[in-house]
Structure 1
Amino acid sequence: MTSTGSAHLLTAILQSLQAPAGRNTNIRTIVNNTAVTLSRLTNPLNVSLLTTQSLAAPAIWNNPSPLSASQAVFDIFRLSTQERARESNRALSLNEWIDAVVTGADARVPRWKHALVSSGILAAFEADDARLPFTTRTNLEAHLLEVVNFHFEFSTSGIETHACILAISNAYRLLSEDSRYMLNYPALTGALLPAMFLSPEGYQTGDFLRQIDRSVPIGQQKMAVVPSFSLKDFLTHPFVANMGALAKLAATSMASSGETETINGALSVLATYSRSLVSIWRETGLSTLPDDATISHDPVQTNTAQLWHVLKSSLFSAVVVLESIVRILLQSHQIARNNEVHTFASQILCILRDFYFITHRTNPAAFGTYMFVYHACVDIVMSNPAQAESLAAQLAPIQDQIPAGTIPAHPTDILRDLYFLNTLEYLVISCSPRFCTTIVSPSLTPYLTSPSITPILREPFESAHSLMLAMIGCPQLVESSYKILPGYIESVFAAYPLFLSTRQFRLAMASLIKFTSPPTALSGIQRDLPDIILEMLCARIEAADSRYPVKAYKPPSSVPADATPDGSAPAAAEPQAEEEFTERDVCILSMLDSLPFMEEAALERWLDIAAGYVGKTTKGDSREALRGRFWDVISGELDVGRSQLAIPWWSEGGREVVLGISA
């Protein structure tokens, strides 16, 4: 390009940068034109001039979103450097050109804008950093770290800090190991997490839900309380669009810091966000909308499926940070010595409780990071019985808000109960009898006594059964367990097969025999409890239907989980096998499942009874399945003492009874 042409082009660009920003201003066009012009300039003074003007241009910075302006400036220097690096035959060498750009970011330009220049140049060499001279790279990295460390240490909010976060998040993966070592990680964590979850440029402490709710169309009209909220525009916010990279940077920063104060600050931010998010979600009408409901007509029609994508992204980002914290808790001897690890683990489980209305839709079993965080924290808390009971009290339904003995009306409250029931199944072994009587029993009783085929109530119902079995198996709860046992046994028989799944019924029967057979504490109160339960099972076998298979309960099809934070899709859940057993078959299978737990003195009698039921089965498929299960039990599931009874029994006539062969 001739000097005259270059001068005309520079003049035109400078005029466009100085023009006041208006509704018709196209920032992307300004960015592209400025980047191309900057890359073609060969006079160092002109390069510095255009750099200075870009960092103060009204057309860019008079923007309702200062962070979007920062993103635009970052893009100018990244794109111009990429363009300049592709052409080596210039009067001005690449190194001289970079020096001229850096010179343009002089003392008249706020220091935080310097970070955008340095990170933009560094980011341009992500694909091929060999062309950037070592000395130049070192100077750029040192300058960037000097600026961001200063702002992270003395300011944790505002455009200055947010611009520095934008700069370091784009350049961090390109920094040398020595430069990364110089980064102030505690200060970075303290600035980064509030920016991600609490700031207007991030997830806004969940307030975006309230704005969406106000914009939900009613029929063909829209509520005109506030201007319509655009979910599409929200997703283009620099922090929201780059949340995956920010979450990984936050996790790295947390791991590199590992200080108790930093962990406290991080958990405080996540707790504030999760509490606010679930509170706003509960108070709005968004939770009741179907997945294809329109939530915005202007400017682009969006639906609740896209909203769930945003919510899941916020969950994934939070869990990535929590994983880093959990790893610190497991590895830090200092935190363990200070006895803070149990408190931190409890806080994490409370945060996960508030996120559960999102987690429930994401197939958590396929989300490995979430499962690691959850189970690791449960294990940590269980190692301290006092902390376990304290956590259980925090997770328990609030009696002032939901009357004792009733099922909440709001779906979000039901899901919180479900999280409580699932978690308490692990913690109940550490809870006192008084706590279980006053807190646990009132929480699970409504679900046990009011079975429902409604999908949202089915899971709490089965979780309540699992928790009840866990309570019955706790030695410290033997007195209270004995009192509630008769009612619970009746509820199990009454709930199957309409409300209780086959798997849950078989598990309940086997567990009841296990917990009431010697040498358990319950057997010391009433030794014949197993015989009573099995006699009830025999009566059910005689009355049960033997013609038609039990209708298999299939949970409602869940919304497919979005990609996990590492970019891969969660593994698909295994399809549920079709149940072909009749009600009579299931009751017999339950008796067979119980054989390994029976007292040796009673085993032989119940072997005869169970074998008789199997031998009398006439339906072909059922007969083969029952015979196979009987053989599996006596050949591989009995301990040594019971095997010494079962093997002679089998060879002395038991086999013929099972096969239905007349003596």
Structure 2
Amino acid sequence: MSIDRLLTTVLQLYQDVHDDARTEQLFGSTAALLTNLSNPLNVSLLTSQLLIAPAIWGRRDGMRTCYRIISIFNTAAIHVRRNEIENVKNKASSHQRIGGGLGSDAWATAVLKGADDYSGRWQHLLVFSGVLMGMEAGHRRSLSTSMRKTVERAVVTAANLALQSRDLAPPAPAGPVALALNYAFPLLSKSSHAGLDCDALVPVAIRAMLGGDGLQDGLFLATIDQDVRQSEHKFMWAENAPSYLHLRQLEQRPLMYGLGPLSRLLAHAVQNARDFRAVLQLQDDLVAFTARLLQHWRANKLSELDSSEEDLFLTPDTLTTTWPALWNFLKKVMYAVVAVLHAVVARSLLDRQLRNHTTASVVATKTLHTLRNLYFISSRNGNDAFQVYAFTYLTSLDTLSRYGPASAAFLHSIKPPCPSVSIHPLDRTLDLFYLNTAEHLPLNLSAADCDALIIQHATPYLSPDLPSSPSPSSSTLSIPSPSPIVRHLLEAAHSAILSVLSCPPQHNTNHRHPSFTTTASDIVPFYADTLLASFPARISPRQFRLAFKTIVKIVSQPPPSPYYGYEPAAAAGYGFGFELGEVLMEMVRGRVPLAGTDLLPQPLEEVGSGGTRGGEQQELVCSEQSVLVLALIDALPVVEAGVFEEWLGLVAEAVNLVRGERLRDGVRRRFWEVLVSGEMDVERAAVAVAWWGTKGGREMVLFGRGPVVTIPPPPPPPPPAQGEEYMMSGALVQGRGESKL
């Protein structure tokens, strides 16, 4: 069939709706015509009729049709350019012309003319994006400089007209606009980026990402629970389950396949929107979406599984196929949301309308609410270990921590219902986020808020009787060893308590705040007992050493510290007359002779670490006894200056109590490192140098001997009296019958 007859046939077929097979054939014929038509007017006509054809737009295929339009013009543009290059090569040899013979610029001009007023601007955007992709993507430079600028202007103009609301025309669908810009945006120049109407793009792009053409408001997660079956006391989510098939189809949708580029497009719109209210509304949309996602996951019976129990309670097929696919998809969702939040937080640091005292805490609070809702995803397998997440999270915390009332209100809104150990694994995950967040906020909280919002909620997780995760098959707690989430909760609880003690409320810089001092009198002895009771069974050597050094530093600070001069020893039953720092040091020193000498198992996340800071490398091979001595050595730079020299000697004695030559050598190296690495201030360093060199410190540490005592030489004997002679002891005096020497 000739090209002209094919054109006539295709134009006729455009007028009716056909079945799938005929529609696919129609798409193929359209792509062939766009490549082989030689008359620019026919190219414009075909484009114009395609954008209004009932055969194409009457089937209600939604995003699939939009994707096919982009694909058709992308493919046609690639072939037009390829034919143009081949025709130039064949011109000298008089070979037959390939294709329609139109050059790239002429063909692109003809296509742009076909986007007339009879079709929608969002449809024009699909066409222009396909042309730009086919001509310029993949490092192709098919268009002249002026023509490329023309196509880019056409893309930007069509996008802005589609985004702007008009009273006489229905609003453009969000999905096709976002899809077209998703492909065209990386190819646009910076000047073209600046021409986009980002105020209108923000709501359209977020609606496309979260709506029916995108993540469907998280409904994909709500349908999983009804397909989960129990087989031989294990959960089974089969590959042929409707919810899993729906998830796989969702992944193949155009917007979901390009979720990463879509998040970057939305981030650009956030950073360049002129109206800050559009950014605040976007945050509201993200908070609502992630809250629904969390709610759907809580309703799923699979959320009852702790990460350490998956091998026990999931069937092999589920564990290897459907389960990883679910978490990979959720991880992509989390990455996309965090990328958008990163743009919001970055803008809030520079935009005066977002960084004022009224709005800054609101932006930070909404960001943290969104991250909390996603924490069941980001806390899994280190999914939050990337710089964008760390910047978004920590910057929001830094902003919120400046506002005491806002910090207290945020903690009130996300705190657990009661200060107790949560049983459900999802609740434990949220508790972990709460404790990790609360650790950063006590500086501007009142004493009452510190006690009610941090100390009371962290204390239950410090209990030595903290249970591990529950079994889904019974209500009893069956796993004896702490799961990874329990270990993280222990460390988070320790950090939260230490944070409160490190940042006492400074309501009066000249006097201790009474309510806080009362709280400290209860917490510090309790925390010290708990810390010692938790090691080595429930806390790692690294965490124990860090916590012990921190608590000694806190209680040994000079005025205006609220702990200065505080002697809780009598109340705690440790005796009288000792400062709190000395009491803690003495407690650990007294435990050294009785401590275990067997090597401790190393947590998996600490094994194989490379270069570490002072003393951490020795943890790779350590015993309970050696860790206790290392903790004493770590605390030497922060112990009170008045008793520093005394504790140098006491710790040196403890060094030689460590059993095992290898462990003892490691402890000695750490002792020397503390003396020479600059960890001490000038005053303590001078005392340490004198102690090491002239007061026997070297001998005590290296050889286990006491200080060397220099015995002065005996005085010379008095001179003999006149008439007497010097004689050897035992000699006989002449005249008494003995020979004279």
TM-score, scaled relative to structure 2: 0.79
The residue that corresponds to 2:250 in the other structure is 234
Q: After superposition, where does 1:435-454 map in structure 2 within 5 Å?
A: 435-449=449-463, 450-452=465-467, 453-454=482-483
Taking a change above 3 Å as real, the CA distance of residues 582 and 235 of structure 1, as seen in their structure-2 partners, is: same
CA contact (8 A) 1:550 1:583 kept: yes
Q: Who wins on radius of gyration, i.e. which is larger?
A: 2
- Map 1:125-140 → 2, pairs under 5 A: 125-127=135-137, 130-140=141-151
Deviation at 1:275, TM superposition (A): 1.1
Correspondence 1:273-422 to 2 at 5 A: 273-288=289-304, 290=310, 302-337=321-356, 339-363=358-382, 366-397=385-416, 399=417, 404-422=418-436
Aligned equivalents of 1:315, 1:532: Cα separation in 2: 47
Amino acid at match of 1:552: Q
Alignment partner of 1:655 out of 689, 698, 702: 698
Is the CA contact 2:121–2:162 (under 8 Å) kept in the aligned structure 1?
no
Instruction: State the partner residue of 2:71.
Output: 75
Q: How many residues of Structure 1 are paired with residues of Structure 2 in the alignment?
A: 635
Instruction: For residue 130 of structure 1, report the CA deviation from its aligned partner.
Output: 4.4
1:568 aligns with: none
> Matches of 1:620 and 1:221 in 2, distance apart?
54
> SS state of the match for residue 440, structure 2?
helix
Q: Is the 8 A contact 1:421 1:444 kept in 2?
A: yes
1:630 offset after TM fit, Å? 1.2
Residue number in structure 1 paired with 2:270: 254
User: Per-residue displacement from partner, 1:181-215 (whole Å, max 9, x unpaired)?
Assistant: 32111111121012112x11111121111133334
Q: Offset at 1:627?
A: 0.8
- 1:258 and 1:328 in contact (8 A); partners too: no
Q: How far apart, in 2, do the equivalents of 1:573 and 1:656 lie?
A: 32
Q: Residue 460 of structure 1 aligns with which residue?
A: 489
- Corresponding position of 1:212: 224
1:529 pairs with 562, 580, 583, which one? 580
Percent identical across equivalent pairs? 30
Could you list the per-position Cα deviations for residues 191-242 of structure 1 after superposition, in whole angstroms to 9, with x for gaps in the alignment? 1012112x11111121111133334466599799978742221111111011
Q: Distance in 2 between matches of 1:286 and 1:36?
A: 50
- After alignment, is 320-329 or 157-166 more displaced? 157-166
**Judging changes above 3 Å, is the alpha-carbon distance between structure 1 residues 340 and 616 closer, same or farther for their aligned structure 2 residues?**
same
The answer as to whether partners of 2:224 and 2:300 remain within 8 angstroms in 1 is no
Which residue is 1:543 aligned to? 594
In the alignment, structure 1 segments of 5+ residues that lack a partner are 558-571
Q: Hey, what does 1:161 align to over in structure 2?
A: 174
Please state if 1:121 is matched with 2:135.
Answer: no
AA aligned to 2:375 is Y
* Partners of 2:225 and 2:301 within 8 A in 1: yes
Residue 10 (structure 2) pairs with residue 5 (structure 1): no
Where do 1:178-197 residues align within 5 Å?
178-197=191-210
The answer for the alignment partner of 1:565 in structure 2 is: none
* 1:508 Cα deviation after fit: 1.8
Match of 2:214 among 202, 207, 218: 202
Aligned to 1:561: none
Bigger shift: residues 244-253 or 125-134 = 125-134
Between 1:5-14 and 1:585-594, the stretch displaced more is 5-14
Picking from 451, 474, 480, the partner of 2:503 is 474
Unpaired segments ≥5 residues, structure 2? 88-99, 468-481, 506-515, 568-577, 707-741
SS of equivalent to 2:2: helix
Change beyond 3 A, Cα 1:7–1:528: same
**Larger helix proportion of the pair:** 1
Aligned equivalent of 2:444, options 408, 427, 430: 430
Find the aligned partners of 1:627 and 1:227 in 2 and give their Cα distance.
61
Find the aligned partners of 2:238 and 2:221 in 1 and give their Cα distance.
16
Do 2:205 and 2:266's aligned partners in 1 also have CA atoms closer than 8 Å?
A: yes
Partners of 1:455 and 1:556 within 8 A in 2: no
Deviation of the 1:510 alpha carbon:
1.2
Range moving further from structure 2, 64-73 or 335-344: 335-344
Secondary structure of the corresponding residue to residue 524 of structure 1: coil
Matching of residue 634 in structure 1 with residue 631 in structure 2: no
Which residue, 506, 522, 527 being the options, matches 1:488? 527
CA distance 1:245–1:362, change in 2 (3 Å): farther
Residue 605 to residue 95, structure 1, CA distance change in 2 (3 Å): closer
Change (3 A) 1:538 1:418: same
**Residue 709 of structure 2: aligned partner:** none
Is the Cα–Cα contact under 8 Å of residues 121 and 159 in structure 2 kept in the other structure? no
3-state SS in 1 of match to 2:622? coil
Greater mean deviation of Cα atoms: 285-294 or 321-330: 285-294
Post-superposition shift, 1:7? 3.4
Q: For residue 174 of structure 1, what is the aligned residue in structure 2?
A: 187
Q: Deviations over 1:273-293 (max 9, x none)?
A: 111111111111243564896
2:260 to 227, 231, 244: 244
SS of equivalent residue, structure 1 residue 417:
helix
Question: What amino acid sits opposite 2:681 in the alignment?
Answer: D
CA distance in 2: counterparts of 1:352 and 1:597, whole angstroms: 36
Larger displacement relative to structure 2 (234-243 or 526-535): 526-535
Equivalent residues of 1:215, 1:227 under 8 A apart: yes
